[in-house]
Structure 1
Amino acid sequence: MSIEGLIGSILQIYIYMIIAYVLLSWVPNARDSFIGELLGKVVDPYLSIFRKIIPPIGGMIDISPIIAIIALQFAASGLASVIAFILGG
């Protein structure tokens, strides 16, 4: 597996974790479960950066996970390009 492929795989796993964490917010007490707490420890530090900048729409709809996923994809794409350039690929 190439480094670009590894970065892409890690990115996809983390995006799925963000989506799962957001979906858990729709189920009462789901974030208090073992899986919810585990996902919170991994995903919340990254999402909190965007939650500080982007207020919820109408006071209820939090779009920060969407922006966080887009930013993550841009960062991973840039990182993969830099690594490919350095390695001459």
Structure 2
Amino acid sequence: MLVQLIPALYRLIMQGLQIYRIALVVYFLLSWMPGGYQSGLGQFLIRICEPYVGIFRRFVPPIGMLSLAGIVAFFSLNFIEYGITALFQLVLTLIQQVG
């Protein structure tokens, strides 16, 4: 039973990361639109994207008027995905060895 639950949980987390990637792209695109962040969608995206992107803003300095923190945040999701994949593979291997 647990062996069947692990892949379903993995797919759910990966789909969540994909949806978050899309939300980040829309969040970044809204910065180019005047008043984009004042809309309902903009306010929602600020609440879910800014805490994550804000972490990178503290460490990645802007170059002139261009902030690279969003790009670094976007691509760092790949490393998070690799870590989650490795963790789930390890858990599945351990469960199969025990069972």
Please give the TM-score of this superposition, normalised by the length of structure 2. 0.81
Higher normalized contact order (CA 8 Å, seq sep 6+, divided by chain length): 1
| Root mean square deviation of aligned Cα | 1.5
Where does 1:1-89 land on structure 2 (aligned, <5 Å)?
2-58=8-64, 60-88=65-93
One-letter code aligned to 1:86: V
Residue pair 1:7, 1:76 contacting (<8 A) in 2 also: no
Q: Which has the larger radius of gyration?
A: 2
1:65 Cα deviation from its structure 2 partner: 1.1
Residue segments in structure 2 that go unaligned for 5+ positions in a row: 1-6
Q: Distance in 2 between matches of 1:69 and 1:2?
A: 25
| Range moving further from structure 2, 73-82 or 19-28 | 73-82
Q: Provide the secondary structure at the position in 1 that maps to 2:16.
A: helix
Deviations 1:2-58 (CA, angstroms, capped at 9, x unpaired): 333222211111011111000000000010010000000000000000001111111
Higher helix share: 2
Please give the TM-score of this superposition, normalised by the length of structure 1. 0.89
One-letter code aligned to 2:82: S
